[in-house]
Amino acid sequence: MAIRFDDRVAIVTGAGNGLGRQHALALAARGAKVVVNDLGGARDGSGASSEAAEKVVEEIKAAGGQAIANGANVADYAQVEAMVAQTKEAFGRVHVRINNAGILRDKSFVKMPIEDFEAVVKVHLMGSTNCTKACWETMREQNYGRIVMTTSSTGLYGNFGQANYGAAKLGLVGLMNTLYLEGAKYNIRVNTISPVAATRMTEDIMPQQILDLLVPEAVTPAVLYLASEDAPSKVILSAGAGSYARARIYETGGINLAAEDRTPENIAAHFEAISDEAGQKDYADGSGQGNNLLGKAAKALGIKLG
């Protein structure tokens, strides 16, 4: 069955260029009314212009869709609240939120001004938090919401010179994990895309031959799936060059040490067993870790839990 967004209202941030533009165009092509948000700043977050967002709106309208432009700075909660108010005034509801806006200020950690760290965290992590918070109550009231965060391989696995970006991007996974739990009974599903695409964020860090493979439109189908009515929840979906994979956070089963054996030397001696992947699990929530560790301790002491 075709995935459609008829009668759905979607807000896409950072939608004037690259990935966000593709997301907005595709949502509109499948029936959504789209708010094209873009501050119109440079890659480092400086400056502002409504030109890019307006052009995307023109493209959507020319194709027969419905869209409005918005220039809110996602790092400013008052502006984000005004964007949601504008959306509801124009279209009545907010059903889909794609948190895509971001900036880069790459430097090795030793050379990175703390202001650059704060700026990147403010846009990526707090910007996505602001945008989600501003429409959360509406989604709860209407018993429907689809939210897609944008993480990165830098956040999941690390990348030299991007401590600020990596910290912010992994923070979004933590935000998803909790919002998934809090939104479940209100039919709010929260997922995360981890894209690899040729955008202005990556144009000077990859060779052209690779950039030609990494078209942004190859990522968008994964985003639309994560934002669809029958979407899963709490999924990290990697996408790039037409390839798709699921990323998970696992924890090994681990071991238990008796009180007299709890020394750093014994941790070192048993580190291979602690690291054994045979019993690893993907926990549904944070209690899984505690239950595993406490359960091992109780078993070692002959205590029956529950």
Query: Which residues are tagged catalytic?
Result: 165
For the residues of 145-176, what is the DSSP string, one character each?
EEEEEE--HHHHH--TTBHHHHHHHHHHHHHH
Question: What is the per-residue burial (b if ≥16 Cβ within 10 Å, else e) of 212-249?
Answer: eebbbebbbebbbbbbbeebebbbbbbbbeeeeeeeee
Beta carbons within 10 angstroms of residue 297's beta carbon: 15
Q: Quick check: 187 and 144 in contact, CB under 8 A?
A: yes
Helices 127-142, 77-91: inter-axial angle, 10-degree rounding: 40
State the Cα–Cα distance between residues 231 and 89, nearest whole angstrom.
Answer: 27
Cα(119)–Cα(94) distance, integer angstroms: 27
Q: How far apart are CA 303 and CA 70, in angstroms?
A: 59
Is the Cβ–Cβ distance between 237 and 222 less than 8 Å?
A: yes
- Cα–Cα dist 70/290, whole Å: 44
* CA neighbor of 193 nearest in space, from 139, 232, 158, 142: 232
Q: How many whole angstroms separate alpha carbon 195 and alpha carbon 97? A: 17
Query: How far is it, in rounded angstroms, from Cα 8 to Cα 10?
Result: 6
